Amino acid sequence: MKRSTESKDKKDFNFILICTIGILFLIVALGQYKFNLEIKKSFYDHTHPSYDTEMNKTRFDLDAVRMLALVIFDEVQKLKVQFQLLQQQAEFSHREDRNCLAKNLYFEARNQNFDANKAVVQVVHYRIKSPYYKNDICDVIYEPSQFSWVNDSYPNRPNLSNPVERLAWEKSVSLADQYMNNELISKFDPELSGVTMYHEKSIEPNWDWSKVQYIKTVDDHKFYKEKRHL
Give the burial class of 220: count Cβ atoms within 10 A of its Cβ; 0-12 exposed, 13-18 middle, 19 or more buried: middle
Angstrom distances, CA of residue 5 to CA of 10, 91, 183: 11, 17, 16
pTM above 0.85, yes or no: no
Q: Work out the number of other CB atoms within 10 angstroms of the CB of residue 12.
A: 16
Per-domain boundaries in the chain: 1-230
Q: What is the pLDDT of residue 199?
A: 95
pLDDT of residue 41: 55
Angle subtended at Cα 156 by Cα 98 and Cα 214, rounded to the nearest 5 degrees: 70
- Cβ-proximal residues to 20 (8 Å cutoff; 6+ apart), any chain: 76
Helix (H) or strand (E) holding 200: strand 197-200
For position 157, what pLDDT does the model report? 79
Distance CA 123, CA 134 (A): 13
Q: Smallest Cα–Cα separation from 123: which of 178, 207, 173, 192? A: 192
Determine the pLDDT at residue 4.
43
Kindly give the residue spans of alpha helices, DSSP state H, lying in 110-159. 114-129, 137-141, 148-151
- CA angle, 190 then 194 then 198, to 5°: 100
Q: Cβ distance 23 to 97 under 8 Å?
A: no
pLDDT along the chain (230 residues), means of 10: 48 61 64 56 51 53 65 68 57 76 94 95 96 92 89 72 92 94 93 96 92 96 91
